Amino acid sequence: MKRLDQIILIGTFLGFCWLGMQLVHEFGHVLGALCTGGEVEKVVAHPFTISRTDLSHNPHPLIVVWMGPVIGSVLPAAAFFVARLLRSPGLYLFRFFAGFCLVTNGAYIGIGSFQKVMDAGDMMRHGSPQWTLIVFGIAAVAAGLWMWNSLGSKFGLGDTKGKVDRRATVASAILFAAIFIVELVIGSR
């Protein structure tokens, strides 16, 4: 039974992290647009697609495009530090999510700078030199890996031999189901 709990915890939490990371990233683009006088036409967030934010008017595209990965990295890290100050139960889930957002946003921008596609391509087309994307990528990935350090045992890896906190497993399954259903319903419109 403990291996089943472990599989459910890891599987559902990775799913939650992927969908949650995309939402926080797109929130950054939306915030960037709203702060610079841009007009958001549509935010695509569906569990079976890569998220995106479409703007009908974008007077400051460089700010808007950078705000996605910056807010998408900083906001989850800030949530972790607040949860730590409040001594929240399941703190390692906050920590893992923050690390996940840092690693994925960092890799997305850093590796994307070589392919010049998606957000990284937009950043470079609007004036960001490639080295800034690479530095962001390295710093974010390194910070994310640091956040993940020593979390394996919380997910039943290593000496714990599959033992995980059942409350975390249930919470993770509920979080994943909730975000999946909300994106499925809203994203289908």
Total domain count for the chain? Answer: 1
pTM, entire model: 0.94
pLDDT band for 1, please (50, 70, 90 cuts): low
pLDDT band for 160, please (50, 70, 90 cuts): confident
> Whole domain around residue 42: which residue ranges?
2-187
pLDDT digits (tens, 9 = 90+) for 63-98: 999 999 999 999 999 999 999 999 999 999 999 999
Residue 93 and residue 172 in contact, taking contact as beta carbons nearer than 8 Å: yes
DSSP per-residue string spanning 12-70: HHHHHHHHHHHHHHHHHHHHHHHHTT-EEEEEE--TTS--EEEEEE-S-HHHHHHHHHH
Residue 155 and residue 10 in contact, taking contact as beta carbons nearer than 8 Å: yes
